[in-house]
Structure 1
Amino acid sequence: MPETETGTETETFRIPKHRRHVSVARNQVRKVLAGWGVSGELADAVTLSANELVTNAVTHCRVAHAQVGVRLYVQGPYLFLEVYDPDRDRLPAPRACGPDDEGGRGLALVGRLAGAWGHAQQRHTKCVWARFTLVEERGRAHVPVDS
């Protein structure tokens, strides 16, 4: 796994703010996780959450010609996923959806997959994050039951 000076694994990348690049972000997340030895249900949960958060960023960010940033890092027993965009004042909020609605379930899904999620306004961006708990079992990371 890659190491920083503090001993935390981390990977950061950017994509253009366009729907066609969501799959690029999803594939990059899957590649990073595989390189770190994260597989199975945890890799699926993080990848699906990344897909939802990046989709939200490219869909709702109103800044022209923006880029969406993705950061994955491991700190202690947690794996964090962060998605950044420059539309710092448009904060995410879960919404109620009807059975026939085509969208609007992404944050609820992330909430079910991750141990926790939230958002933060920064000076020039906003960050939407999800936290996953790592559990080691015979050298492989797995998703625990978070309840």
Structure 2
Amino acid sequence: MPATETFRIPKHRRHVPDARHRVGKTLADWGITAELADDVVLSANELVTNAVTHCRVTCAEVRVTLVIREPYLFLEVHDPDRDRLPEPHDSGPDAESGRGLTLVGRLAHGWGHGQLRHTKCVWARFALPEGTHGPAAL
């Protein structure tokens, strides 16, 4: 059975650090540290920031899920603006934003998005080091 952790945050920028902290704590509890944890936390920061910034549904929540399905760890970020799909684009050298999906694409071993019945999900997949089995193995 896969290891899973899910939590929700209000759709507001001030809650992005809370999501980043929860992701980092979950990974540490699962024994995932070092570069992989840094990559997942940074990717979570980018995907959650995108969700709270671009979701046009008022009074919404963003759902963050971490799942270990060997040989990968999946990070999923859901928001209720299901028809507004992410599009990576080239940002100029002076742009203050717009590089998040490119960064996730470089840190993860794949990323994508999908439309569900009431939400969209933007996900990233990270290869686990050999011998990582999630909290059950700890």
Please state which band the TM-score falls in when normalised by the shorter chain. over 0.9
Residue 140 of structure 1, CA deviation: 9.7
1:21 to 15, 28, 31: 15
Provide the residue aligned with 1:3 in structure 2: none
Q: Is 1:10 paired with 2:4?
A: yes
Q: Which runs of 5+ in 1 are unaligned?
A: 1-6, 142-147
Provide the residue aligned with 2:59 in structure 1: 65
Residue 35 of structure 1, CA deviation: 0.2
Query: Match of 1:136, SS?
Result: coil
Provide the residue aligned with 1:92 in structure 2: 86
Matched-pair contact (CA < 8 Å) for 2:46–2:100: yes
Check 1:128–1:54 CA distance in 2 against 1; reply closer, same or farther (3 A cut): same
> Residues 1-147 of structure 1: matches in 2 within 5 Å?
7-136=1-130
Supply the distance in 2 between the matched residues of 1:8 and 1:98 (Cα, whole angstroms).
Answer: 40
Q: Which runs of 5+ in 2 are unaligned?
A: none
User: In the TM superposition, what whole-angstrom CA distance separates every residue of 1:51-98 from its partner, at most 9, and x where no partner exists?
Assistant: 000000000000000000000010011000000000000000101100
Matched-pair contact (CA < 8 Å) for 2:79–2:121: yes
Give the helix-richer structure, 1 or 2: 2
Supply the distance in 2 between the matched residues of 1:32 and 1:70 (Cα, whole angstroms).
Answer: 12
Aligned length, in residue pairs: 134
Give percent identity, aligned residues only. Answer: 69
Supply the distance in 1 between the matched residues of 2:118 and 2:73 (Cα, whole angstroms).
Answer: 24
Q: Which 4+ runs in 1 deviate beyond 2 A?
A: none
